[in-house]
Amino acid sequence: MARWLVRTAFNAIWMPCSYHFYTLVSLAMATRHLPVVGGHPVGAVSTLREDNWWLGPLVTLGVFSGFVVYVTWAALQGEHYYADPYLSPFYSPVVYTDLTAQGAAPVDHAWFGAWPAWWPGFLPASPALFILMFPGLFRFTCYYYRKAYYRSFVGSPPGCSVAPITRRGYKGETGLMLFQNLHRYALYFALIYIPILYYDAFLALSKDGQLGIGVGTVILFVNASLIAFYTFGCHSLRHIVGGHDDCMSCGRNTIKYGIWKRVSWLNARHMNFAWPSLFWVAFTDVYVRLVSHGIIHDYNTWN
Ligand code: FES
């Protein structure tokens, strides 16, 4: 009893003292290096971190910028997006096809046939202009990508425990970025694209009525699968399939629980599918474009 009393009294006195002592020492050391407010350094991009925290945002900045530039260029081409039997995913589904363009999809591939006469002459006759806004909106409003580009493009903040690049009037998702709430609706469109991309991949198993397979076929199947894994790991989808229930494990044997578990597995790896699917969709377009130009040869069972 006596020992217990002594130990309790010791802890009651020493522990708070030691805690405050170490806090004061830490603050004193930090203030020798950086101005601090409430223990945090202030000033744009200031931090106590000593790791290469800036590397991730920098790579994101470069990759995203490169991707946006390439997609914009590819979408404005309106040609060489088809190399029988391969269709670039940037142009799928082909709504109209411009029969005068080189490397354009044949008319039976287009949902509404030949290019319409009402199309304004100042816009390029590119089917991608009908298509890319939906997957573009889906990616742009993705919860994972938001984190990535808020850090790299807006610097708000550039990283955990790194002070934001101060911008007067910047309100984040309470201002201009409020449209990010459209993500759940963009998801509905994105889900439609998955069977369409698989349909294109299955069409790539046949050329001139002959069944076969080529390198392009494999590339199209991998593309559809990566985009499917990325889409099925969406946070909004996880909410849709698992919403309404307070206790998911209470219905362990239900189909709903099974779907939710699988979506959760993909959701935990959302970033791991976000980047490969982004790279691969651009790579698929590059591959189809190079084959259509005749710059590279597609190895297949038809030739
Ligand atoms: S959260 Fe990333 S696709 Fe929905």
**Res 45 pLDDT > 90:** no
pLDDT (tens digit per residue) in 223-271? 999 999 999 999 999 999 987 777 877 877 788 889 999 999 999 999 9
Which two structure tokens, joined as six digits, stand for 248? 């998911």
- Residue that wins the pLDDT comparison between 11 and 228: 228
C-alpha span between 197 and 92 (Å, rounded) = 7
| Helix intervals (H) in the chain | 2-31, 55-77, 128-131, 133-140, 143-149, 183-203, 215-232, 235-242, 255-268, 270-293
How far does residue 48's CA lie from ligand 1's centre (Å)? 31
Ligand 1 atom nearest residue 235's Cα: 1
**Res 2 pLDDT > 80:** no
Name which of 164, 176, 182, 273 is nearest 226 in CA terms.
273
How far does residue 63's CA lie from ligand 1's centre (Å)? 18
Output the pTM of the full model: 0.81
How far does residue 100's CA lie from ligand 1's centre (Å)? 38
- pLDDT score for 102: 93
User: Which amino acid is present at 247?
Assistant: C
- pLDDT score for 272: 95
* Strand 40-41 to 82-83 pairing: unpaired
What does DSSP assign to residue 115? P
Cβ(270) – ligand 1 distance below 6 Å: yes
Cβ(282) – ligand 1 distance below 6 Å: no
Cβ(234) – ligand 1 distance below 6 Å: yes
pLDDT (tens digit per residue) in 103-161? 999 998 899 999 999 998 888 889 898 889 899 999 989 999 888 888 888 888 888 88
* Residue to mutate, 193, 194, 236, 275, ligand 1, most ligand atoms under 8 Å from C-beta: 236
Do residues 125 and 78 make contact, with C-beta atoms less than 8 angstroms apart? yes
C-alpha span between 201 and 289 (Å, rounded) = 16
C-alpha span between 286 and 280 (Å, rounded) = 10
* 226 contact partners, CB below 8 Å, separation of at least 6: 273, 276, 277, 280, 281
User: Which amino acid is present at 227?
Assistant: I
Phi, psi of 247 (to 5 degrees): -125, 100
Cβ(139) – ligand 1 distance below 6 Å: no
Do residues 237 and 183 make contact, with C-beta atoms less than 8 angstroms apart? no
Do residues 279 and 62 make contact, with C-beta atoms less than 8 angstroms apart? no
C-alpha span between 69 and 261 (Å, rounded) = 37
**Residue listed under structure tokens 């229930």:** 245
How far does residue 272's CA lie from ligand 1's centre (Å)? 12
Phi, psi of 239 (to 5 degrees): -70, -40
Cβ(263) – ligand 1 distance below 6 Å: no
What does DSSP assign to residue 123? S
* Residue to mutate, 137, 142, 238, ligand 1, most ligand atoms under 8 Å from C-beta: 142
C-alpha span between 88 and 80 (Å, rounded) = 9
Cβ(190) – ligand 1 distance below 6 Å: no
Average pLDDT score over the chain: 85
C-alpha span between 245 and 262 (Å, rounded) = 17
- pLDDT score for 9: 58
* 52 contact partners, CB below 8 Å, separation of at least 6: none
C-alpha span between 266 and 232 (Å, rounded) = 7
Give the range among 60-74, 147-161, 196-210, 274-288 with minimum mean pLDDT.
Answer: 147-161
C-alpha span between 114 and 224 (Å, rounded) = 26
Cβ(236) – ligand 1 distance below 6 Å: yes
The residue whose CA has the least distance to atom 4 of ligand 1 is 234
Cβ(235) – ligand 1 distance below 6 Å: yes
**Res 29 pLDDT > 50:** no
